[in-house]
Chain A
């Protein structure tokens, strides 16, 4: 079974600064997908970024980028130019091809004005 570990229960960042959220996972599969989802106070899960395991190139989406280290089974999220609207709980998620998800415990991000 897969496991996902987020070692930072809480993080804070100053507005306009950069923050990195950590995630490690364990799997015996070679083909899988990794995601970061954001859950604001509304509790709607919002897809932030996705990474296919077979791709070496790190995914980027505007101010969000990942550092994917497949051999180390590490998948960190970097948020640049942090904004107040980035405040949320962030989940690192591992997906199989069939869409079955394994979630990390989440990291609560606070953005200070």
Chain B
């Protein structure tokens, strides 16, 4: 099956620092990946669509300068939370279509970010 990994799984940082989260498709190539944010006991909120070789597409209300997305290769997308603040603390999840079938998304295990 299609496997998506995320690194790190847990990160604690000081307010004002930047944090980079990696999302990798391990056994398939993904031209498109998606980034989500999830608060406790709530649903996933789509933040942006990451496109390999081009700029990401952000959902309304998501600050593109705050959440920088880079899709450098067909197996790697990164989300950088710049100048993080406590309100950015959340659970971030990425997803990618498996084996060329975009309509079925496989999710990474998520990254818990805590900003102090």
Contacts and interface: CB of A to CB of B under 8 A. Distances in A.
Interface of A: 33, 35, 37, 42-45, 47, 50, 89, 91, 95-101, 103-106, 108
B95 interface: yes
B18 interface: no
Contacts of B46: 100-101
B103 A103 contact: no
18 contacts: A33-B104, A37-B107, A43-B91, A44-B109, A44-B110, A45-B44, A50-B104, A89-B41, A91-B44, A95-B104, A95-B105, A97-B102, A99-B34, A99-B95, A99-B97, A100-B49, A105-B42, A108-B41
Interface in B84-109: 91, 93, 95, 97, 102-107, 109
A50 B46 CA distance: 20
Task: Place the interface of chain B in its size category.
Answer: 20 to 34
A101 B43 contact: no
B32 interface: yes
Given A43-B110, A45-B107, A104-B43, 14 more contacts: A33-B104, A43-B109, A44-B109, A45-B95, A91-B44, A95-B103, A95-B104, A97-B103, A98-B103, A99-B95, A100-B46, A100-B49, A101-B105, A106-B42
